[in-house]
Amino acid sequence: MNNSNTGVILFAHGSRDPLWRLPIDAVALQMHQQWPQLPVRCAFLELTTPALPEVVEQMVMQGMDHLRIVPMFLGVGRHAREDLPQLVADLRQAYPQVQFELTASIGEHPAMTRLMAEIAAGTQT
């Protein structure tokens, strides 16, 4: 973690089905358990709350000046390529004092690819 003023936002699409968000919430819970000093929040593009601007506002009000936004997308579609970068550009304008770090989508990470392959092969428990 970069510093004590760093927060992580797990960003996902959202769904009308309230159960859809459970895996994203589970990642946040795992992070809270593993790194209790690291503020972690979930934010959603649509159909689920809270929205990204709302979460950013809350975290800035809590003193965060470095926000790492992690797109929780397996594939890199229009939301990851266009919608999210535009949202982050708008947030950079609204909060020039905050460093926004937009990571690659989680599905693009080599560790995720390896883990999914292990799960599919039945070698990961």
- pLDDT per residue over 16-26, tens digit each? 999 999 999 99
pLDDT per residue as tens digits for the range 44-71: 999 999 999 999 999 999 999 999 999 9
- Give the number of other Cβ atoms within 10 Å of residue 6's Cβ: 18
* Domains with residue ranges and CATH for the chain: 6-121 (3.40.50.1400)
Rounded CA-CA distance 107/113 in Å is: 7
**How many whole angstroms separate alpha carbon 53 and alpha carbon 73?**
19
The span from the CA of 66 to the CA of 5, in Å, is 6
Q: Model confidence over 80-119: pLDDT tens digits?
A: 778 899 999 999 999 999 999 999 999 999 999 999 999 9
Of 88, 25, 18, residue with least CA distance to 53? 88
pLDDT at residue 107 in the model: 92
pTM of this prediction exceeds 0.75: yes
Residues in the chain: 125
